[in-house]
Amino acid sequence: MRLKDKVAIVTGGAQGIGRATALLFAREGAKVVVADIQAGPASATVAEIKAAGGEATAVTVNTADRASVDAMVKTALETYGQIDILINNAGILRDAQLLKLTEYNFDAVIGVNLKGVFNCAQAVAPHMVERGSGRIVNASSVVALYGNFGQTNYIAAKSGVIGMTKVWARELGRKGITVNAVAPGFIATDMTKDLPENVLQMMIDKVPLKRMGSAEEVANAYLWLASDEASYVNGTVISVDGGVTT
């Protein structure tokens, strides 16, 4: 097991990519803190992990709120005594063209997708520094690399995540902590299942592999970066997009 005796926080761990990551990490031996703003689905993910023989606990968190994040970290430390891995996966969408994008929806996406990543990393990093090791993996997006219609707020946040990842890799690397990012492409999740068929087909047509990715395929990238196999990988962005950015 690649994460035996490790403790991992997975934000946005109740559904989609986060849920797939929590389940995979538990199978690989990690004790998982399933952190999500949705308490019910988070508890359901934990129940599934426990039913399979794993160890996990659910924490309700709003990553945009620092007090909530600090409480999450406190719970993780009180429950398991350490934090080895942070998967900054929580994210929201509030798409609109520039001329129609409200300040509220701009701030909401920046709050979760950018500030939330900062909040979680800053709250966890001191404990990793004290232990002299750690893995932080941030969720960016393929659209941060080439843009996308109607996603000013989302792309601003996800581009910022890439920048923060590279800064933290330099700052924390000397402390034994690696910081990397994953940039998923078009992934089949709850966020995409209700899209019109013609929109889904347009997305698939852009992918050289001619299919959407699965949440598990992104989780596999998180797993590798969180494991000792990627111990010399720091400050990189791995695209999991079927070749869209090729």
Q: Which range (122-131, 189-198, 212-221) has the least confidence? A: 189-198
pLDDT digits (tens, 9 = 90+) for 36-46: 999 999 999 99
pLDDT at 193 over 80: no
Domain count along the chain: 1
User: Does residue 150 lie in a domain region?
Assistant: yes
Examine the residue annotation and report whether 154 is marked as an active-site residue of this protein: yes
Q: What's the pLDDT at 242?
A: 97
Three-class SS of residue 34?
A: strand
Nearest partner of 243 among 217, 195, 210, judged by Cα:
210
User: Does residue 193 lie in a domain region?
Assistant: no
User: Does residue 190 lie in a domain region?
Assistant: no
DSSP string, 116-156: HHHHHHHHHHHHHHHHT-EEEEEE--THHHH--TTBHHHHH
* Rounded-to-integer distance, Cα 119 and Cα 161, Å: 12
User: Does residue 46 lie in a domain region?
Assistant: yes
- DSSP assigned state of 57: E
Mean pLDDT of 58-66: 98
pLDDT at 61 over 90: yes
Nearest partner of 18 among 189, 177, 178, judged by Cα:
189
Q: At what angle do helices 116-131 and 66-80 cross, to 10 degrees?
A: 30
Q: What's the pLDDT at 199?
A: 79
pLDDT at 245 over 80: yes
User: Does residue 199 lie in a domain region?
Assistant: no
User: Does residue 197 lie in a domain region?
Assistant: no
Domain interval for residue 86: 7-185+214-240
Q: Which residue has the tokens 């001329």?
A: 99
Mean pLDDT of 147-174: 97
* Rounded-to-integer distance, Cα 133 and Cα 135, Å: 7
* Residue 197 banded pLDDT, cuts 50, 70, 90: confident
* Rounded-to-integer distance, Cα 80 and Cα 60, Å: 17
* Rounded-to-integer distance, Cα 33 and Cα 144, Å: 28
Percent of the chain with pLDDT over 70: 100
User: Does residue 220 lie in a domain region?
Assistant: yes
* Catalytic position from the list 80, 154, 222, 232: 154
pLDDT digits (tens, 9 = 90+) for 16-59: 999 999 999 999 999 999 999 999 999 999 999 999 999 999 99
Spatial neighbors of 74 by CB under 8 A, at least 6 apart, are none
CATH of residue 67's domain is: 3.40.50.720
Please provide the average confidence, as pLDDT, over all residues in the chain.
Answer: 96
* Rounded-to-integer distance, Cα 115 and Cα 25, Å: 25
Q: Is 82 exposed, middle or buried (0-12, 13-18, 19+ CB in 10 A)?
A: middle
Whole-prediction pTM: 0.97
pLDDT digits (tens, 9 = 90+) for 224-235: 999 999 999 999
Other Cβ atoms less than 10 A from the Cβ of 228: the count is 10
